[in-house]
Amino acid sequence: MQKENESGFEVADYLANAGPGRRLVQLDPDEIFFSQGDTADCIFYLHKGRVKITVVSTTGKEATIRLVNAGSFFGEKAMEAEPGPRVTTATAINACTALRMTREEFIRVMHEEREFSDMFSRFLLDISLRTQANLVDQLFNSAEKRLARLLLLMAELVPSEGDVTLIPPVSQEALASMIGSTRPRINLFMNRFRKLGFVDYDGRIKVHKSLLQVFLRD
């Protein structure tokens, strides 16, 4: 729980409720928050559900570049000095509830409320560090290790039962696009992980902490 500051502003209350320049929105699975090419005029804070951020190349190839979990912002391009059009699409993976804030309202609260500004700055730093880690992973690790890392990162975001974590539903196509591989290779790696006892899956994937052993191989 965030402590209330001298102005009476409280970050948790602000993000939990609608008000001037902000409103709560609810989307069903596969509905779109914004599309590539839309004007970047708002930013979202996810309360419930999961969102995938995708980009489509000029040749029509789609790649998933980020998964958004509850408690995170997305659509932050609206914070640029000259935001212009969106370069990504944000799609609800399951039923989602989010707070939609106009660019003007977001800039106002960033300027006027230090507590909120600090929180958003920490979020941007975390995204930057994750992006760097993903780039290193993409450049130097094999596709198999990239998949293992992705599954372990997804497992960190949900409660676990001992050494086993049931991660949210995700397709092999989505996994392939996130690590820059193909669905057949993902299927090959998942079968290998299952035979080695690193994962279990029957529609939903259970990740064992022993999956870390993939990184100990030469």
Residue-wise pLDDT tens digits, 26-63:
999 999 999 999 999 999 999 999 898 888 878 887 77
Same fold, 11-138 and 142-216: no
List the single range of 29-38, 105-114, 195-204, 209-218 with lowest mean pLDDT: 209-218
- Calpha distance 64→176 (Å, rounded): 9
Q: What pLDDT does 12 receive? A: 93
Question: Where along the chain do its domains lie?
Answer: 11-138, 142-216
Does residue 143 register a pLDDT over 90?
no
Res 3 pLDDT > 50: no
At residue 138, the pLDDT reads 67
What is the model's pLDDT at position 165? 85
Q: Which CATH fold would you assign to the domain 11-138?
A: Jelly Rolls (2.60.120)
pLDDT at 160: 66
Tens digit of each residue's pLDDT (9 = 90 or more) over 58-72: 888 777 778 888 999
Q: Is 8 left (phi over 0), alpha (psi -120 to 50) or beta?
A: left
The pLDDT assigned to 74 comes to 95
Calculate the average pLDDT of the chain.
85
Q: Which of 2.40.180.10, 1.10.10.10, 3.50.50.60, 1.10.730.10 would CATH assign to domain 142-216? A: 1.10.10.10
3-state secondary structure of 46: strand
- Cα radius of gyration rounded to whole Å, the chain: 19
Per-residue pLDDT averaged across 86-101, rounded?
Answer: 94
